[in-house]
Amino acid sequence: MILRLLAERADRSYADLSAHVHLSAPAVHERVKRLRRDGIIRGTVARLDGEKIGCPLLAFVHVTTEGWGMTKPVLALQDLADVEEIHTVTGDTCLILKVRTSGPASLEHLLSRIQQIEGVRSTRSHVALGTYLERGPMPEVPEPLSE
């Protein structure tokens, strides 16, 4: 339950969490500390609105490379600020990138930079027209036992 509450809103106070899970705030603090130590909670980040910060164009770029996995092209892609996520995938492409740019011209520039990376064979882009859901993993919350 703590994980789900934090996944919904990571800035909740320990007092707020404790009220939802019926534990003391120090007990919740210890559990959250353990979740961080065990790598279950990997960090706390602000989710920024791309449009409001000048990067309204969201696209998914399929990249075909000469190799597969953690190759030079993948490592080079990590250095591009517009790249938010990199995934190796099965199918007719090697990687899918989630990128966010200020517009078509900056996307074109980014694609040009990607094409220049040694080992990149081709790219295909899919521009998102709208986003209806964007969230991380949501743990299942067990149903309460019936009496």
Whether residues 85 and 115 fall in one domain:
yes
Residues in the chain: 147
pLDDT tens for 21-37 read: 999 999 999 999 999 99
Whether residues 13 and 63 fall in one domain:
no
Whether residues 63 and 101 fall in one domain:
yes
Exposure on the CB side of residue 98, measured as CA atoms within 13 A: 8
Q: Rounded to 5 degrees, what are φ and ψ at 110?
A: -60, -45
Which pLDDT score is estimated for 146? 46
Q: How are the residues of the chain apportioned to helix, strand and coil, as percentages rounded to the nearest 5? A: 30, 20, 50
- Within a domain: 49: no
- Within a domain: 142: no
- If one counts the domains in the chain, the total is 2
Whether residues 18 and 65 fall in one domain:
no
Q: Give the structural domain span for 67.
A: 57-127
Whether residues 62 and 123 fall in one domain:
yes
- Within a domain: 18: yes
pLDDT tens for 103-127 read: 999 999 999 999 999 889 999 999 9
Whether residues 30 and 72 fall in one domain:
no
Confidence of residue 143 (pLDDT cuts 50, 70, 90): very low
pLDDT tens for 43-90 read: 888 888 999 999 999 999 999 998 776 677 778 899 999 999 999 999
- Within a domain: 66: yes
- Within a domain: 116: yes
Whether residues 28 and 85 fall in one domain:
no
- Helices 14-21, 25-37: axis angle to 10 degrees equals 100
Question: Which pTM does this prediction carry?
Answer: 0.81
CB 95 within 8 A of CB 88: yes
Whether residues 14 and 73 fall in one domain:
no
**How far is Cα of residue 71 from the mean position of the Cα atoms in its chain?**
21
Query: What CATH number is associated with residue 106?
Result: 3.30.70.920
Cα–Cα separations (whole angstroms), residue 37 to 9, 31, 50: 20, 10, 31
Cα–Cα separations (whole angstroms), residue 25 to 28, 32, 87, 95, 124: 5, 10, 37, 43, 49
- Within a domain: 91: yes
What are the helix and strand counts (H, E) for the chain? 5, 4
Whether residues 70 and 118 fall in one domain:
yes
- Within a domain: 105: yes
Whether residues 74 and 117 fall in one domain:
yes
